[in-house]
């Protein structure tokens, strides 16, 4: 724990970011023509080991974040770790509703136990032609989560933030496509490698909150065959 962490609870830091930061989330992301609306739920909760009386004062290293691993049989981003989320349905009134609906459908969580802290600035994804709204949530009353549809997800898990912040578990992935090289942040959590869009969101979030610890930005983390 750092002195900065102790100044405010992690929940207050997340809420302040969601309510007051109008800047583009990832400034270097190119936009696509006629993108499809989508949302992801960045849901943070307190580790089960923390006593109930200490939860309001939880700091960053007391937290975990809900993630899932996409099924290897999917045509789009097979096997990648992602936040719960997906495209907006016509019946969704707003991006928050999309994020909560998708999270319930994908992980079985009970949305009534989630406090929505706010929607962060939209992120364009030119490659998949989406405009994604990250929704920041606090898991006030955690509910059991699981793989709901094996055709969509291979695993659902809560990743400790302490592991994500650990410099020894951080690195960069390198992708070469169409004669160009793309580098992005990566996190190793247990058997899972978090990279791509999900890792970019986590990296940006941690930077803005001041939670990031110095890590080796030249350390290459290899991707599994097939990416």
Judge whether 178 lies within some domain. Answer: no
pLDDT at 5: 43
Biggest CA-to-CA distance, the chain: 55
The model's pLDDT over 73-107, given as tens digits with 9 standing for 90+, comes to 766 667 799 999 999 999 999 999 999 999 999 99
Indicate which CATH number applies to the domain containing 83.
3.90.79.10
In-domain check, residue 192: no
Inside any domain, residue 169 = no
Kindly state the DSSP code that residue 199 receives in the 8-state scheme: H
Model pTM score: 0.91
What pLDDT band is residue 225 in, cutting at 50, 70 and 90? low
Between 111 and 3, the more confident residue is: 111
Q: How far is CA 99 from the centre of its chain?
A: 12
Contacts of 154 (CB under 8 A, 6+ apart): 69, 70, 71, 72, 79, 147
Q: Domain of 84?
A: 3-162
Residues 6+ apart with CB under 8 A from 69: 79, 80, 81, 82, 153, 154, 155, 156, 157, 192
Of 73, 72, 80, 54, the C-alpha closest to 198 is 80
Answer yes or no: is 185 within a domain: no
Band (pLDDT 50/70/90 cuts) for residue 40 is very high
Structural domain includes residue 212: no
Is residue 35 scored above 90 in pLDDT?
no
Terminal Cα distance for the chain, rounded: 34
The count of domains in the chain is 1
């Amino acid at each position: 724990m750092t002195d900065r962490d102790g100044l405010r609870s992690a929940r207050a830091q997340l809420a302040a970011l969601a309510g007051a930061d109008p800047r583009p989330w990832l400034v270097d992301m190119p936009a696509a023509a006629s993108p499809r609306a989508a949302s992801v739920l960045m849901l943070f909760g307190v580790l089960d080991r923390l006593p109930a009386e200490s939860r309001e004062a939880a700091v960053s290293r007391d937290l975990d974040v809900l993630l899932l691993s996409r099924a290897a049989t999917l045509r789009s981003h097979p096997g990648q770790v992602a936040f719960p989320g997906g495209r907006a349905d016509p019946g969704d009134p707003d991006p928050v509703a999309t994020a909560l609906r998708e999270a319930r459908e994908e992980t079985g969580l009970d949305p009534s136990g989630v406090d929505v802290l706010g929607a962060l600035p939209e992120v364009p994804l030119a490659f998949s032609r989406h405009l994604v709204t990250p929704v920041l949530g606090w898991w006030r009353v955690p509910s059991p989560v699981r793989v709901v549809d094996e055709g969509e997800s291979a695993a659902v898990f809560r990743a400790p933030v302490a592991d994500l912040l650990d410099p020894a578990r951080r690195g960069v992935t390198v992708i070469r496509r169409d004669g160009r090289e793309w580098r992005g942040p990566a996190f190793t959590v247990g058997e899972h490698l978090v990279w791509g869009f999900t890792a970019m969101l986590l990296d940006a979030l941690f930077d803005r909150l001041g939670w990031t610890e110095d890590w080796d930005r030249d350390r290459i983390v290899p991707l599994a065959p097939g990416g």
